[in-house]
């Protein structure tokens, strides 16, 4: 069964304090790994797609990396506006199986 | 503006009263899906559709129906809602299944009493 585990569940950072969020996955052939940001009461907003081990993507203070078993979302010098829940999801290569989401990491950045 | 539009945003209803949550996208996407989001359980897929007249069950389809008669619309139907269907619902669309990003609607908060 395809599974996605995100850690930590919650993370509190001071403004400027860099850190990383983890997404571990087990899937029968990875078709794509996705990172989303979700603000309270809103729909998830797409951030990155990663397709193969070794791939990296960057956007402003965020950088996503991928290995064969996990992905990291690195946040460099975060600001309060980076506070949100970050969701990881995977799509398996077998058939049209649903996108499997992790439960998310709730990030709070304190000024 | 490219978007996925859900209606209504908030709904309180009684057990057993049929309801429909509408979803429409203006990006000519082939793939559409419905999710529910519950505290501690994350996002779980209810149904998905790969194209017009093609729908399939996700992880938690019990108690829900969908239809895809037009490419842009993908309504979620609760024939006889029950309190355990109280949740936050999201519709999503993407160009095709699998390795393309999904665009999500604003969400529908449903309460069944």
Per-residue model confidence as pLDDT tens digits over A32-90: 999 999 999 899 999 999 999 999 999 999 999 999 999 999 999 999 999 999 999 99
**Given A46, A49, A96, which is nearest B97 (Cβ)?**
A96
Phi, psi dihedrals of residue B41, rounded to the nearest 5°: -115, -15
pLDDT at A93 over 80: no
Which residues in chain A touch residue B42, judged by CB atoms under 8 angstroms apart? 87, 101-104
A96/B48 CB distance under 8 A: yes
Distance CA A57, CA A50 (A): 8
**Given A31, A44, A98, which is nearest B104 (Cβ)?**
A44
| A58 HSE (CA, 13 A, CB side) | 3
Which residue, among B101, B108, B97, has the nearest Cα to B75 in the 3D structure?
B108
Q: Check the CA dihedral B51-B52-B57-B61 and report its sign.
A: positive
Is residue A2 very low, low, confident or very high in pLDDT (cuts 50, 70, 90)? Answer: confident
Which residues in chain A touch residue B43, judged by CB atoms under 8 angstroms apart? 44, 87, 89, 101
Give the distance from residue A33's alpha carbon to the nearest chain B alpha carbon, in angstroms.
8
DSSP B85: G
Please give the pLDDT value at position A28: 81
> CA B104 from chain center: how many Å?
10
Looking at residues A14-27, what average pLDDT do you find?
96
DSSP string, B7-61: E-SEEEE-TT--EEEEEEESS--SEEEEEEEETTTEEEEEEEEEETTEEEE-S--
The chain A residue lying nearest B48, using CA atoms, is: A98
Residue of B3, B25, B41, B42 to mutate for A, most A C-beta atoms under 10 A: B42
């Amino acid at each position: 069964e395809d599974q996605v585990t995100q850690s930590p569940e919650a993370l509190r950072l001071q403004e400027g304090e860099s850190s990383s969020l983890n997404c571990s996955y087990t899937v029968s052939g990875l078709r794509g790994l996705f990172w989303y940001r979700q603000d309270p009461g809103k729909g998830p907003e797409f951030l990155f797609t990663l397709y193969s081990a070794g791939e990296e993507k960057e956007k402003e203070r965020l950088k996503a990396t991928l290995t064969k078993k996990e992905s990291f979302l690195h946040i460099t010098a975060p600001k309060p506006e980076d506070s949100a829940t970050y969701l990881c999801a995977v799509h398996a290569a077998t058939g049209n199986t649903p996108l499997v989401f992790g439960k998310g990491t709730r990030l709070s950045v304190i000024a | 503006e490219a978007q996925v539009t859900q209606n209504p945003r908030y709904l309180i209803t009684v057990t057993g009263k049929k309801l429909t949550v509408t979803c429409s996208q203006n990006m000519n996407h082939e793939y559409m899906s419905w999710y529910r989001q519950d505290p501690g359980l994350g996002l779980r897929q209810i149904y998905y559709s790969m194209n017009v007249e093609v729908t399939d069950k996700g992880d938690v389809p019990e108690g829900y129906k969908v239809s895809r008669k037009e490419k842009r619309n993908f309504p979620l139907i609760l024939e006889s809602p029950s309190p355990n269907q109280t949740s936050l619902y999201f519709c999503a669309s993407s160009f095709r299944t699998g390795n393309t990003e999904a665009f999500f609607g604003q969400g529908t908060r449903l309460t069944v009493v």
